[in-house]
Amino acid sequence: MKTISENACFGGTQGVYAHNSDTCGCEMTFGLFLPEEAQDGPVPVLWYLSGLTCTHENAMTKAGAQTWAAEHGIALIFPDTSPRGDDVADDEAYDLGKGAGFYVNATQDPWAPHYQMWDYITEDLPRLIDANFAVDLERQGITGHSMGGHGALTMAMRLPGRYASVSAFAPIAHPSVSDWGRKQLSAYLGADESSWQAHDTTLLMREKGFDGPILIDQGGSDQFLDLLKPEALAEAMAERRQEGTFRMQKGYDHSYFFVSTFMEDHVAFHADALYGR
Amino acid sequence: MKTISENACFGGTQGVYAHNSDTCGCEMTFGLFLPEEAQDGPVPVLWYLSGLTCTHENAMTKAGAQTWAAEHGIALIFPDTSPRGDDVADDEAYDLGKGAGFYVNATQDPWAPHYQMWDYITEDLPRLIDANFAVDLERQGITGHSMGGHGALTMAMRLPGRYASVSAFAPIAHPSVSDWGRKQLSAYLGADESSWQAHDTTLLMREKGFDGPILIDQGGSDQFLDLLKPEALAEAMAERRQEGTFRMQKGYDHSYFFVSTFMEDHVAFHADALYGR
């Protein structure tokens, strides 16, 4: 692991690090914010999974999460959204290939050799961070934006006990029936739609739900509402009697201005769960 | 109008009053909390509509709303849930007739002569209260529990501009397809289901929504979830992109212990709207 940069930030440190990922078969870069409290011992962790076209860097600089993570003494992890490098398959479209890993383990060519983002986020990167930083992986929460909200929600539901809490900003909520989903899931997982179910938040909510609290924020003027399908998730959460809150925020769009506006609430929500309040 | 009782309460006054209602053709009783600020001039108003079997009295004594209304300087109105008196038709069932007016204007015998609760809540009682108390009807919010949540939501959507905000605790959300609804709507309005649509929150949400914020709390262990149908409303709100928050509260049932737990949030929510915050 090598250090790309470290900056003092809200009394703690915002770092960027790179490492050779066996899972993805390439060098991967991630951001990690450690609050001041990490100097005294391991701190709880909040994962932030980013959306289409993003790297580790967008949320780290635009979501305003460090403000609140410092207040609550929580670390933030900002992974990349796909494998990277010249050897890695790509597509000309913004929503397939690099920057669009969709948080799945690809089984299809040409994606399978590197596009293993599910395992990267849930196994490879936690192991690396646990070995190198003062974090307490017994206390993890997960959140994300758009494609990252999809990743956060599917991981939280499929790994019971792993995350104490999950939230999402404008998640891709029902990809198996959306153009944000069918294209990527068929490319990465193949045409057999039964393999997609494990990567569809609405279907997972109908099937199992999450054993903990959920917070969803969705902008009411989001330009991608037809692709995100929040109504499917809202219904599934209520039908499941899922502990949680679904908020439609009037006038907000899909941007980081929306994300940053409600970040305080999300970090406080995770802090309550991570500190057992 | 006559005064039944007045008690000092959180620096203001909790009163109970009775009046002859032309609309209902009988004497009607209601509770009214006026905060201390009402001594200096008109204050904003929050309506609280009660559920099946309740009178004006249940929420007044069990919901804990005066605590927070006093803090925000807001009046609370607690109407009865049906016409009353020996001349008024009734049914042996708890969910039809007295205590079960369902906030509609009945058109069918034997209910039509007295069961005019829509007009009573939206016309008769506001006029009376405006003439006798220091309230500002330019600033009204409305909430309710169960059948009262149904009343609050249907009134808010069908009277645009009247209420700045609407909230509900475990509302009967889709009565036209529920045993809490089909029985009462057919009795009061007749077999023609087209007349029911104006009294079904989910159908009104699909059709028009509400021009302001909505807050819904639903207990996850509510014993009447199958009758309330919160999933239909959650989906309709998200599909409409309705500004608002839908919360599934883990472990809470249908009782006033649930209502009182979240009353602080609801009064604060209405206060924000009533004071233009």
Catalytic residue list contains A254: yes
Active-site hit among A82, A146, A165, A178: A146
Active-site hit among A124, A200, A217, A222: A222
Question: Which of B167, B228, B235, B240 to probe the A interface (max A CBs under 10 A)?
Answer: B235
Helix axes A256-274, A65-72, angle to 10 degrees: 10
The shortest C-alpha distance from B83 to chain A (Å) reads: 34
The shortest C-alpha distance from B199 to chain A (Å) reads: 21
The shortest C-alpha distance from B247 to chain A (Å) reads: 4
Question: Which of A174, A229, A235 to probe the B interface (max B CBs under 10 A)?
Answer: A235
Runs of H (alpha helix) within chain A: 57-62, 65-72, 117-119, 125-132, 147-158, 179-189, 201-207, 225-228, 230-240, 256-274
| Residue in chain B nearest A241 by alpha carbon | B220
Q: Measure Cα distances from A101 to A61, A84, A94, A123, A191 in Å.
A: 21, 10, 11, 16, 17
Neighbours of B142 (CB within 10 A): 28
B74-89 pLDDT, tens digit each: 999 999 999 999 999 9
Contacts of B241 in chain A (CB under 8 A): 220-221, 225, 248
- Comparing CB atoms, the residue among A220, A243, A249 nearest residue B220 is A243
| Residue in chain B nearest A212 by alpha carbon | B250
Whether A277 shows a pLDDT value over 90: the answer reads no
Contacts of A245 in chain B (CB under 8 A): 245-248
- Residues A263, A145: Cα–Cα separation, whole Å: 11
H or E, element range at A76: strand A75-78
Take residue A234 and report the two structure tokens written for it: 């809202």
Report the share of chain A in percent with pLDDT over 90: 99
A120-126: average pLDDT:
98
**Burial tier of A266 (Cβ tally within 10 Å: 0-12, 13-18, 19+):** buried
Question: Which of B218, B225, B233, B237 to probe the A interface (max A CBs under 10 A)?
Answer: B237
Contacts of B238 in chain A (CB under 8 A): 218, 230-231, 233-235, 246, 248
Identify the pLDDT of residue B148.
98
A187-208: average pLDDT:
98
- Comparing CB atoms, the residue among A213, A218, A235 nearest residue B234 is A235
Matching residue, tokens 């001041």: A36
- Residues A182, A96: Cα–Cα separation, whole Å: 11
Residues A234 and A246: beta-carbon distance below 8 Å: yes
- Assign 3-class secondary structure to B16-62: EEEEEECCCCEEEEEEEEECHHHHCCCEEEEEEECCCCCCCHHHHHH
Whether A272 shows a pLDDT value over 90: the answer reads yes
Inter-chain CB proximity B246 and A250 less than 8 Å:
no
| Residue in chain A nearest B229 by alpha carbon | A239
Identify the pLDDT of residue B277.
84
Neighbours of A121 (CB within 10 A): 26
Contacts of B231 in chain A (CB under 8 A): 235-236, 238-239
H or E, element range at B148: helix B147-158
- Residues A150, A230: Cα–Cα separation, whole Å: 11
> Averaged in consecutive runs of 10 residues, what is the pLDDT profile of chain B (277 residues)?
94 96 98 97 98 96 93 98 97 97 98 98 98 98 98 98 98 98 98 97 98 97 97 98 97 93 96 94
Helix axes B256-274, B65-72, angle to 10 degrees: 10
Identify the pLDDT of residue A259.
95
Whether pTM > 0.90 for this model: the answer is no
In 3D, which of A113, A48, A122, A62 has the Cα closest to residue A85?
A: A113
